[in-house]
Structure 1
Amino acid sequence: MKILVTGAAGFIGSHLCEKLLQDPRHEVIGLDAFVQQSPTPVKVREYNLRFLLPQDRFTFINQDLLQVPWDEVLPGVDIVYHLAGMPGVRSSWGADFKLYITHNIEATQRLLEDCSKHPVTKFVYASTSSVYGEKTDQVNEIATTEPLSPYGVSKLTGEQLCNVYARHAGLPIVIMRFFTVYGPRQRPDMAFHRFISHIRQGKPIPIHGDGLQTRDFTYVADCVEAVAAAVYAENIIGETINIGGKERASVLDCIAILEELFAKKIDRKFMSKASGEPRHTWADISKAQRLLDYQPKTDLRSGLHAEMMDLFKTPFLFL
């Protein structure tokens, strides 16, 4: 099976490539543009690739998706995982939204257009819980989509483009909506990475709002287990699937766990609520359980400990 993964040097993408390569039947092409404006610095992306580049069944392409000669890359590819994009809710406001248009909308449309000319068996689009907006209860895939941020709008537009190409060109689309993925190699701009970095540096943890907002935290190994299962899963074409975690918690709950792990009291710095972020997220993962045999295994304490230990081994990642 020949598999293309865009965003291969990113947090989730690099883990996914490693998971796919555990199957000796797979050959993986990883593509990443090393976008300079991304919240993940180039040195972090290079670090993420350290286990992949030496592998014989892995080929890396460092190129912008809008510049890739797809007619040379796509022939022979069975499955496309499209994880590349510009992440981040808070940075999507203002003039920087043009980056989200380029990397989340234009690049997705270009890839879909070229995939429509080549016979892939599945096109898996990585979306986000941000498309749902503010919901108070557990959310399933038929819930209304009402994004609160330009980032959420850009990812929902990507979903709609996928659906358009499914109808127009018969592309075998699968959409997966990720809920707050964390763990080793988490992006430096994400909450747990920032929390751990601040604690190591003796700085108070910045908390937007009252800290009682909750998230459905998904450990990265659980997430890629579900994503990789799509390779051989049947009856998933045309489906939208939530990928959530084992444990839901508030920001203050997470800080309490970090206090246990660091064995010390952690200072907090409360700040104004961040624009565009929902107060609560909570995934109904029953469809993933049914279609992908998905069962998240990692509890929040174990996952935070794993992320903390990974950062301790790589002090240059404290940004």
Structure 2
Amino acid sequence: MVERVLITGGAGFIGSALGEHLKASGKEVWVLDDLSFGTRALAPVPDERFLRIDIRNRAAVQRTIAMAAPQQVLHLAAIHFIPYCNAHPVEAADININGTINVLDACATAGSVNQVFVASTAAVYPIAEGAVNEEHPTGPLDIYGITKLAAERIASEFCLRTGIPTIIGRFFNAFGPNETNPHLIPEIQRQVRAGRRVLSLGNLEPKRDFIHTSDMARAMGALLDGGFSGCEVFNIGRGIEYSVLEVVQAFERVLGEPLSIEVDEARVRKVERMHLLADVGKLKRRTGWEPRWSIDEGVASLLTEPLLEWKGAHA
């Protein structure tokens, strides 16, 4: 019997990569997405398996998940661009917290769901100098991290209440095709593709753990197939950190020409952590997963792929 999986946020950046991976692995993929930031063309499903629903609509979410009757639900729908979350805290909380409650309650009552994955973030961690593992104390610095830590607590309670195995994946900095938010790498991509060789950027010193969405999708697939019980938390990163300057240098290597940087004060975050690095030892030990994409390989692909039009507040 083919396993049926439903991905909330499956028309977005990471969700679409996940859908393609699960589809290629033989699963029947359904997507639930309101297209506020996602794009219908990215969801790798026919129209009858695409469900245009806002996760804040509790009745619609319950009705839709019951109708789809998936065995596995992967909840990725969220607002995750940190400056937007900080500027719109009520909306961020409504979607990231109340939306998660709605999705998980629907999973509890659907009668078909036997496994859940909830996407969280490395933003739940406090400032740290070295790599952080899953046992590291939490301490988010911004509204986004606060809402996702709340979603983690809700997922843990859901698991205890229902007995449905629940995996929480703490995403580090994703990059790859079809980005729907103006994060660092897609911003450099767009400026370079527009012919600019003097880049307008914000903070230059922070280091981040960049992981390609293809590797993230493979990690989530491996976790689904891991046979875990109870509630488990896993970091999903590459285990290597790069500064903004090192990312620019990757673009220079691929382009074969130098790039200059000018700091745009409007892009400088007032609260910034200097390091964010994943210890992915648990993920590797428990699943056998290993990352495949280097940052240079990912950048090379970004310089040839079609650019996605950003929607909504990021357009």
Contact residue 140 and residue 283 of structure 1 kept, 8 A? yes
Out of 121, 139, 142, the residue aligned to residue 114 of structure 2 is 121
Q: Which residue of 2 aligns with 1:274?
A: 269
The alpha-carbon deviation at position 118 of structure 1 amounts to: 3.0
Q: Which residue of 2 aligns with 1:5?
A: 7
1:1-319 equivalence runs, <5 A: 1-24=3-26, 26-35=27-36, 40=37, 45-49=39-43, 52-54=44-46, 59-67=49-57, 68-74=60-66, 76-94=69-87, 96-119=88-111, 120-203=113-196, 204-209=198-203, 211-235=204-228, 237-245=230-238, 247-272=240-265, 273-310=268-305, 313-314=306-307
The alpha-carbon deviation at position 90 of structure 1 amounts to: 1.4
Q: Please report the TM-score for the alignment, with normalisation by the length of structure 1.
A: 0.88
Contact residue 31 and residue 61 of structure 1 kept, 8 A? yes
Q: Please report the TM-score for the alignment, with normalisation by the length of structure 2.
A: 0.89
SS at match of 2:304: helix
Identity across aligned pairs (percent)?
Answer: 25
The alpha-carbon deviation at position 188 of structure 1 amounts to: 3.9
SS at match of 2:241: strand
The alpha-carbon deviation at position 276 of structure 1 amounts to: 4.0
For residues 89 and 314 of structure 1, do their structure 2 counterparts lie closer, same or farther at Cα, with a shift above 3 Å needed?
A: closer
Contact residue 33 and residue 62 of structure 1 kept, 8 A? yes
The alpha-carbon deviation at position 15 of structure 1 amounts to: 0.7
CA-to-partner distance for each residue in 1:261-307, whole Å, 9 max, x for gaps? 22332231224541343211111111101222210111110111112
For residues 184 and 269 of structure 1, do their structure 2 counterparts lie closer, same or farther at Cα, with a shift above 3 Å needed?
A: same
Moved segments of 4+, more than 4 Å:
315-319
Contact residue 246 and residue 299 of structure 1 kept, 8 A? no
5+ unaligned residues in a row in structure 1: which ranges? none
* Counterpart code for 1:114: A
The alpha-carbon deviation at position 72 of structure 1 amounts to: 4.6
Aligned CA-pair RMSD: 2.1
The alpha-carbon deviation at position 235 of structure 1 amounts to: 2.6
For residues 133 and 276 of structure 1, do their structure 2 counterparts lie closer, same or farther at Cα, with a shift above 3 Å needed?
A: farther
* Counterpart code for 2:220: V
The alpha-carbon deviation at position 93 of structure 1 amounts to: 1.8
5+ unaligned residues in a row in structure 2: which ranges? none
The alpha-carbon deviation at position 253 of structure 1 amounts to: 0.7
